[in-house]
A = this chain, B = another copy of it.
Amino acid sequence: MSLLITSITITTPQLQDMLGFYRIIGFQFAAAKVDKGSEIYRAYHNGVEFSLYKTINAQKSQVPGLQLGFMVTDLDGTVEKLKAIPSVTCILDPTDMPDGKKAIMIDPDGHAIELSEKQ
């Protein structure tokens, strides 16, 4: 199977408490360089990037606080099929990025899903 689970990101209004919890479990976080005002901490375990992202806007905390990333073999084809589901939204069409081709979809439950292409 070529599918890979690549990332789990949790958005939280209480970053310090969440960092404390996951550090005890064993995650070794490093602060990620992000836009001014944002705070993201990342850790890597068995090939999965686990991130905690601080919610800046209280209103945004209503959005499901989970983003997942997957690596697939045929990004364009996968995105076309996903777009055919009525409850799915594409917020970024397949786009070449410095670190590879990516797309972002919103799944039927409202979670942001980042898809990247296996090279």
- The interface of chain A, by Cβ under 8 A from chain B, is 1-5, 8, 10, 12-14, 17-18, 20-22, 24-28, 45-48, 50, 64-66, 68, 70, 72-73, 78, 81-82, 85, 87-88, 105, 107-109, 111, 113, 115
A88 neighbours in B (Cβ, 8 Å): 21
A5, B8: Cβ atoms closer than 8 Å:
yes
Chain B: which residue is nearest A25 at the CB level? B70
Chain B: which residue is nearest A14 at the CB level? B108
B26, A2: Cβ atoms closer than 8 Å:
yes
Task: Give complex CA distance A81, B85 in Å.
Answer: 44
Q: Assembly of this chain: how many copies?
A: 2
A18 neighbours in B (Cβ, 8 Å): 107-109
A-B residue pairs, 3 tightest by C-beta: A3-B26, A17-B108, A24-B81
B46, A78: Cβ atoms closer than 8 Å:
no
Task: Give complex CA distance A25, B118 in Å.
Answer: 13
A5, B50: Cβ atoms closer than 8 Å:
yes
A24 neighbours in B (Cβ, 8 Å): 78, 81-82, 85
Query: Given B27, B50, B64, B85, which contacts A17 in the complex, CB threshold below 8 Å?
Result: B85
A26, B1: Cβ atoms closer than 8 Å:
yes
